[in-house]
């Protein structure tokens, strides 16, 4: 499908992946949180029509064993379909205006940091035309990953406490959906005061990791989390990809607690083996919060409409011409979720 892009969320992955690519795969167009309007539809596409409004998420083949089991984030063709900058047959979808050299694209089956994107039925979710596409862009990845981790991986009962390390877009989405689901105790750990304040607006307890000596209640992060959760969190989510923080998250758990590491960046993590072996704790990762975009995105939109997933205020919009400002603000932590908006 040819999609006219209306808005594109700017995700940490968009900033990280290009720095990891070999030189021969540059230049490349990233962007994987696109929303837009379908302008043309291929002959093999069913269920999506010209004029439909869509959220574009990650691709999967829908035919391998993981896909048939519903685990589309672990598709056997995921690397080829999402990261290698070309179609499955090796052809590319973009070219320079002067024709001089290859431009790689097809990032997450969309490369939506562009006015138009070529997308597919397996990664497009049709949404109500009355909905604001600028607010839905982060549902494609960031919000989906945070909320999906709570709903699909943890599935906690209301009395089980959760601690979230990193109150950015992914972390706050996890906090929002957890509180919307009625969880009684949610703790947010973040060094940025404004983000801790946002977590507190959801009813979460906020911990400043830098503040270990302020008063008699201060101390190591893991001890403060344990005090707030009655002996340790049942579940921890790390969104920071910082090795020392992941270690804090592990140590913040109660016996048999579960840590899900979501961040992309660190090549290695240090695990406290004694703590792990003596407590039955589990440390694991998750791709996109175990979400199937065709299922999870409509579910999250329904929760949003019901007032149980309040995330609109986390979005800050920028005209696409201000992409440099959006990147700078994202890196500085002055905004939670920058979304680039394309003009007509």
Sorting pLDDT into bands at 50, 70 and 90, what band is 66? very high
CA dist., res. 146 & res. 169, Å (int): 8
125, pLDDT greater than 70: yes
More confident residue, 119 or 102: 119
Strands 34-40 and 53-56, sheet pairing: antiparallel
283, pLDDT greater than 90: yes
**Residue 16 token pair:** 């990280």
293, pLDDT greater than 60: yes
To the nearest 10 degrees (0 to 180), the angle between helices 323-332 and 12-20 is 100
Which of these, 189, 159, 191, 186, lies nearest to 175 by C-alpha position? 186
CA dist., res. 153 & res. 84, Å (int): 28
3, pLDDT greater than 80: yes
CA dist., res. 21 & res. 40, Å (int): 31
Q: What is the mean pLDDT of residues 5-33?
A: 92
Segment (H or E) for 2:
strand 2-9
pLDDT score at 343: 78
- DSSP for 129-169, written as a single string: TTS-HHHHGGGGTHHHHHHHIIIIII---TTS-EEEE--SH
Give the domain 143-288 fold.
Answer: Rossmann fold (3.40.50)
Q: Give the whole-number percent of the chain exceeding pLDDT 90.
A: 87
Range scoring the smallest mean pLDDT among 9-13, 177-181, 250-254: 9-13
216, pLDDT greater than 60: no
2-140+311-341 and 143-288 in the same fold: no
Q: What is the mean pLDDT of residues 55-68?
A: 97
Place of tokens 């089956």: 109
Mean pLDDT comparison of 97-101, 142-146, 211-215, 328-332, highest-scoring range = 142-146
249, pLDDT greater than 70: yes
Sorting pLDDT into bands at 50, 70 and 90, what band is 16? confident
219, pLDDT greater than 80: no
For 155-196, write each residue's pLDDT tens digit: 999 999 999 999 999 999 999 999 999 999 999 999 999 999
213, pLDDT greater than 80: no
pLDDT score at 344: 63
Sorting pLDDT into bands at 50, 70 and 90, what band is 210? confident
pLDDT score at 238: 98
- DSSP for 236-280, written as a single string: EEE-S--HHHHHHHHHTEEEEEEEEE-----S-----HHHHHHHT
CA dist., res. 226 & res. 231, Å (int): 5
Segment (H or E) for 341:
strand 337-341
CA dist., res. 134 & res. 37, Å (int): 12
CATH architecture of 2-140+311-341: Alpha-Beta Complex (3.90)
Place of tokens 């003009």: 343
Please report the sign of the dihedral spanned by the C-alpha atoms of residue 272, residue 273, residue 274, residue 275.
positive
Segment (H or E) for 194:
helix 193-201
Q: What is the mean pLDDT of residues 219-233?
A: 95
Report domain extents, the chain. Answer: 2-140+311-341, 143-288
Per the DSSP assignment, residues forming a β-bridge with 337 are 315
Q: Are 32 and 10 in contact (CB under 8 A)?
A: no
Per the prediction, the chain carries an average pLDDT of: 94
pLDDT score at 271: 93
CA dist., res. 207 & res. 48, Å (int): 45
pLDDT score at 108: 96
pLDDT score at 218: 61
**Residue 30 token pair:** 């990233």
């Amino acid at each position: 499908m040819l999609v006219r892009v209306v808005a594109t969320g700017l995700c940490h992955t968009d900033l990280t992946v290009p720095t990891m690519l070999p030189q021969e795969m540059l230049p490349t167009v990233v962007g994987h949180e696109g929303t837009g309007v379908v302008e043309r539809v291929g002959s093999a596409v069913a269920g999506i029509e010209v004029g439909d409004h869509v959220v574009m998420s990650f691709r999967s083949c829908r035919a391998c064993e993981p896909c048939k089991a519903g685990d589309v984030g672990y598709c056997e063709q995921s690397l080829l379909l999402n990261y290698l900058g070309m179609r499955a047959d090796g052809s590319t979808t973009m070219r320079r205006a002067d024709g001089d050299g290859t431009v790689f694209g097809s990032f997450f089956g969309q490369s939506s940091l562009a006015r138009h994107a070529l997308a597919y039925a397996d990664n497009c979710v049709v949404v109500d035309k009355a909905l604001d596409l600028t607010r839905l862009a982060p549902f494609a990845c960031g919000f989906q990953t945070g909320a999906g981790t709570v709903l699909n991986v943890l599935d906690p009962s209301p009395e089980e406490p959760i601690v979230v390390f990193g109150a950015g877009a992914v972390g706050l989405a996890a906090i929002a959906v957890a509180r919307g689901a009625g969880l009684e105790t949610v703790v947010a750990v973040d060094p940025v005061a404004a983000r801790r304040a946002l977590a507190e607006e959801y009813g979460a307890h906020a911990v400043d990791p830098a503040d270990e000596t302020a008063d008699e209640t201060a101390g190591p992060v893991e001890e403060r989390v344990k005090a707030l959760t009655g002996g340790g969190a049942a579940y921890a989510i790390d969104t920071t990809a910082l090795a020392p923080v992941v270690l804090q998250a592990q140590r913040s758990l109660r016996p048999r607690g579960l840590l899900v590491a979501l961040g992309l960046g660190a090549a290695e993590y240090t695990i406290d083996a004694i703590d792990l072996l003596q407590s039955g704790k589990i440390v694991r990762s998750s791709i996109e919060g175990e979400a199937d975009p065709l299922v999870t995105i409509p579910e999250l939109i329904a929760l949003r409409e019901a007032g149980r997933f309040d995330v609109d205020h986390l979005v800050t919009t920028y005209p696409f011409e201000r992409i440099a400002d959006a990147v700078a603000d994202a890196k500085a932590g002055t905004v939670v979720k920058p979304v680039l908006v394309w003009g007509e």
